[in-house]
């Protein structure tokens, strides 16, 4: 078995791994994840049997899409993939979201559980009450020349500096909106195609009401569509989503190896994805 750097030629086999797990990723989702980061693949007799992707976002890095094919599990492949990724990420503070199956492996590698994220989704969005902006607030499309500013806001929420991700969202997101308050940007959110339908995230702003205003705006017009939002279990958005018919379906464990980030005035109410955070 060899561990090799992942490239586009591995994408079909990697996508097949998530399909076997009934994870929702489209091939495009894999492609975007790899384009924004790096990965390692486990190859045995010419066949891809495992993957681990990681993203360097400044001082912090995130890891995800850690998968070993059913038939190859329990033989140390997951550990070797992770150890290769950890060696490449030396010096970074690390964050990931663990499935029940992955948690034991990550604990053995020094990751510590600090909380949970919650996955909310609905197959067909029902019409619902929307939260309107206040008189001092204004919603509008984000502009490309605001990418640096939006990346700064995001880094205050979770410590990750992701200008390349923000820039890519101008091309890939269906909608990319900002919430202005007293004429300055108080937060932003994206509506993207992902998995079985649409995903909303990142969602970055100061408080829960602002998050509801941003999400409400992006839900407008999505009645009948599959919608998914991954959010921090402690931030309070989950209860409102559930009351809006977007139910919780999973709660992966939030784990850090290194210093957990303390938010500085901004919060991440929605993740880009469970893998990228
Ligand atoms: C999680 C996963 C990647 C582990 O890969 P693997 O190749 O089977 O794991 P390994 O054989 O390398 O095991 C590594 C270590 O973790 C331990 N471990 C693995 N799964 C475990 C579990 N569910 N609970 C506790 N410990 C576990 C093993 O005992 C082993 O310990 P050791 O090295 O001290 O002997 C694999 O089970 C998988 O693909 N699962 C489905 C997808 C998934 O949930 N991925 C995690 C996403 S966050």
Q: Is the CB of 101 under 6 A from ligand 1?
A: yes
User: Tokens 């097949």 correspond to what residue?
Assistant: 16
Local structure of 109: helix, strand or coil? coil
CA distances from 131 to 175, 198, 214, 255 (A): 18, 20, 9, 32
**H/E stretch holding 101:** helix 100-108
Q: From the CA of 98, how far away is ligand 1's center (Å)? A: 11
Q: Is the CB of 83 under 6 A from ligand 1?
A: no
Class of domain 120-270: alpha beta
CB atoms within 10 A of CB 88: 15
Q: For residue 161, give both structure tokens.
A: 């500096």
For the whole model, what pTM was predicted? 0.97
Pairing of strands 60-68, 93-98: parallel
Domain-wise residue ranges, the chain: 2-91, 120-270
pLDDT tens-place values along the chain, 277 residues long: 999 999 999 999 999 999 999 999 999 999 999 999 999 999 999 999 999 999 999 999 999 999 999 999 999 999 999 999 999 999 999 999 999 999 999 999 999 999 999 999 999 999 988 899 999 999 999 999 999 999 999 999 999 999 999 999 999 999 999 999 998 999 999 999 999 999 999 999 999 999 999 999 999 999 999 999 999 999 999 999 999 999 999 999 999 999 999 999 999 999 999 999 9
Pairing of strands 112-122, 227-232: antiparallel
Q: Is the CB of 224 under 6 A from ligand 1?
A: no
CATH number of 2-91: 3.40.630.30
Q: How far apart are CA 252 and CA 103, in angstroms?
A: 9
Q: Collect all residues with Cβ–Cβ distance below 8 Å to 269 and sequence separation of at least 6.
A: 203, 204, 205, 208, 211, 214, 215, 231, 232, 235, 237
Q: From the CA of 269, how far away is ligand 1's center (Å)? A: 29
DSSP 129-141: ---PPPTTEEEEE
Nearest CA to ligand 1 atom 7: 78
């Amino acid at each position: 078995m060899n561990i090799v750097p992942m490239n586009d030629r591995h994408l079909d086999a990697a996508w097949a791994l998530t399909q076997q797990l009934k994870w929702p990723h489209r091939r495009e989702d894999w492609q975007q994840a790899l384009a924004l980061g790096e990965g390692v693949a486990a190859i045995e007799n010419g066949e891809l049997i495992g993957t681990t992707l990681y993203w360097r976002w400044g001082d912090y890095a995130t890891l995800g899409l850690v998968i070993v094919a059913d038939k190859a599990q329990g033989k140390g492949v997951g550990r070797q993939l992770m150890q290769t990724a950890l060696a490449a990420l030396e010096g970074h503070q690390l964050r990931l979201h663990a499935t029940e199956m992955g948690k034991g492996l990550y604990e053995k590698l020094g990751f510590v559980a600090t909380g949970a994220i919650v996955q909310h989704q609905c197959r067909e969005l029902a019409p619902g009450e929307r939260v309107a902006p206040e008189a001092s607030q204004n919603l509008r499309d984000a502009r490309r020349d605001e990418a640096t500013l939006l990346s700064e806001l995001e880094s205050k929420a979770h410590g990750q500096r992701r200008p390349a991700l923000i820039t890519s969202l101008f091309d890939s997101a269906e909608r990319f909106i900002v919430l202005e308050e007293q004429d300055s940007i108080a937060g932003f959110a994206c509506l993207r195609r992902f998995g079985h339908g649409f995903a909303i995230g990142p969602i970055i702003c100061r408080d829960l009401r602002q998050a509801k205003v941003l999400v409400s705006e992006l839900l407008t017009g999505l009645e009948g569509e599959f919608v998914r939002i991954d959010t921090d279990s402690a931030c309070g958005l989950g209860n409102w989503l559930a009351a809006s018919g977007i139910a919780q379906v999973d709660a992966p464990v939030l784990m850090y190896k290194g210093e957990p980030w303390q938010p500085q005035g901004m919060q991440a109410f929605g993740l880009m994805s469970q893998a990228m955070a």
